[in-house]
Amino acid sequence: MTGIELIGNLDVDLIPFHLFYFSHNNEPTLLFLPPPDSVREEGQRWQQPIPRSSSVQGHDPEAKRVCLSICLSGGQGCGCLTETGLMTGMAFSLEERLQLGIHGLLPPCFLSQDVQLLRVLKNYEMKRDDLDRYVFLMGLQDRNEKLFYRVLTSDTERFMPIVYTPTVGLACQMYGLAFRRPRGLFITIHDLTHISTVLQSWPEKDIRAVCVTDGERILGLGDLGCYGMGIPVGKLALYTACGGMPPQQCLPVMLDVGTDNEELLKDPLYIGLRHKRIRGQAYDDLLEEFMKAVSDRYGMDCLIQFEDFANTNAFRLLSKYRDQYCTFNDDIQGTAAVAVAGLLAALRVTKSKMSDHTIVFQGAGEAAMGIADLITMAMEKEGLPKDEALRKIWMVDSKGLIVKGRDHLTHEKERFAHEHEQMRNLVDVVHELKPTAIIGVAAISGAFTEEIIRDMASFNERPIIFALSNPTSKAECTAEQCYAITEGRGIFASGSPFAPVTLPDGRTFFPGQGNNAYVFPGVGLGVTACAIRHVTDEIFLITAETIADLVTEKDLSEGRLYPPLNTIRDVSLKLAVKIVKFAYEHKLATLYPEPEDKEAFVRSLIYSTDYDEFAVDSYHWPKDAMTIQSCKL
């Protein structure tokens, strides 16, 4: 074997050491490495985590240098040219190439990461369409992880729509064709009672964040089964690119229980289980075992993010597990935080309070419920009683306005059912209720018709119109429609990006994109930084308020309701620091001793795209000091 394997731990004079096994010159070799100096209290995480990874990628740089130089010497250096976490390409120095046994395997050229970035950008520009660009970037992630994240952070606004919405939706639909190399862990219904064994297949042991989907409701595209793996992979890429979490601490997971998508079941390229979705008790047993297995292996403070589960499962799974594990649902709570952040920013334009508004939702699924709950919490914080806050929120689903007495309402919908005559279509609802804000989250393209937008502009001086459905093809209206019909008075936000809009009078607006990427990377960083065990709703209201506070007056004057995407790493850092402070103030954190400087502490956890140095320190003595002593025998 050429890799290094952690095979045990032992104490020497009360100092813990880790015992590693590797093959050196075809001979079994043992290596002892002490962990970083740290203090741990019972039930709490090491402030500087012990390097527990079974692959070299997870070790600190000094351990990497020592281990790699021994393990890969003697002509066994090809491994570091295929290990994505170690690969630096032609940035390897001559000394590193010699010590790692790779001299001659690379061209005789030494490039900085800046030059490598330039090469990637030139190749990127040659791609025909966004799907080709997605495949190209994912290939780079497979080859050179640090360069991949250097590319993403070099221009986040440019690359985020490629690695995540809207392009990731198309990539998921074409996942079987675009599939190159597996990323993440695939757990199936047939692995029931053996999930802990499957988790052991993943080489990294120090996992802080898991993003899991069952592929049943991928964006606005429906059931994509195993093709939905592109979503957790993309989400966790943004954990690193936007939030700075080390990628080796993130694990994408696909729970494959089958698919009800007939086209996929007939597709010879489909990579998942070829049967109808398993539901009922077997499904619940799989989720129960998965949650326990993840927490047993990675700790109770390992964050588990639910992603793109169908409405029927999303609410009940969140309700069931939120107080047992460190978990949240991004479609419910993440979407809520980013939508409420946009509303809070809009309040500065309308010069009003949240409790002054009447809001109509097009859609009553998990996103709508999450947003409505957080709006209710914000109104309560302003002093409005909860029952009055609920009465300011109306919802329209596939059967029309949700009202009291309507048949077959779920428990979630009943909370927002009010006394009113039944109405079937959104046009009539808007005309009758005269809301100050409409929010679209039903993935019905064109739902906000010209008539609806004109009505909103007639009722309100500054109508709030949020078309939050993804991908772009499912948006309720375009930015251009909103600004043109309202003559620039509309306050607009969307879920997917829209280009700037210039009106005939010369005014240019930059539509606000209510992207969940403003939320989950910073939440993930903050929650894992201080080892929070339960993610509370208050954390998401703090998130919304923090994002809104970072919107400048200049941003608002240009139509932006969110900070520019090119500042998203700074947004995530500030958000994580706010969450860490809140966690210690409210006894939610389990990492002790409590860091005095919270911002410096969070900054110390941020992933660096700079290449590690792998050469072992070497130097020469003066020649006279190295004279070989001899004598006559």
- Name the binding residues for a divalent metal cation: 307-308, 331
For residue 624, the number of C-alpha atoms closer than 13 Å in the C-beta half-sphere is 0
465 in Cβ contact with 477 (< 8 Å): yes
- Active-site residue (options: 235, 574, 578, 598): 235
Q: Return the H-helix or E-strand segment holding 576.
A: helix 568-585
- Which letter does DSSP use for residue 415 in this model? T
Q: How far apart are CA 240 and CA 249, in angstroms?
A: 10
The angle subtended at Cα 540 by Cα 514 and Cα 553, nearest 5°, is: 50
The verdict on whether 351 is a catalytic residue reads: no
SS (HEC) of 93-126: CHHHHHHHCCCCCCCCCCCCHHHHHHHHHHHHHC
Report the SS3 class of residue 370.
helix
Strand 437-440: give its sheet, edge to edge: 400-401, 393-397, 359-362, 437-440, 464-467, 491-494, 512-513
Burial class from Cβ neighbours inside 10 Å (0-12, 13-18, 19+) for residue 386 reads: exposed
Question: Which string of DSSP letters, residue by residue, matches 128-174?
Answer: SSHHHHHHHHHHHHHH-HHHHHHHHHHSHHHHHHHHSTTHHHHHHHT
Q: Give the count of beta carbons closer than 10 Å to the beta carbon of residue 96.
A: 23
CA proximity to 7, closest of 23, 20, 16, 26: 20
Q: Return the H-helix or E-strand segment holding 62.
A: helix 61-71
Note the Cα 390 to chain centre separation in Å.
30
State the binding site for (S)-malate. Answer: 217, 470, 515
- Active-site residue (options: 149, 164, 239, 518): 164
The verdict on whether 235 is a catalytic residue reads: yes
CA proximity to 396, closest of 371, 434, 373, 365: 365
What does the chain come to in residues?
A: 633
Q: Which residues are catalytic?
A: 164, 235
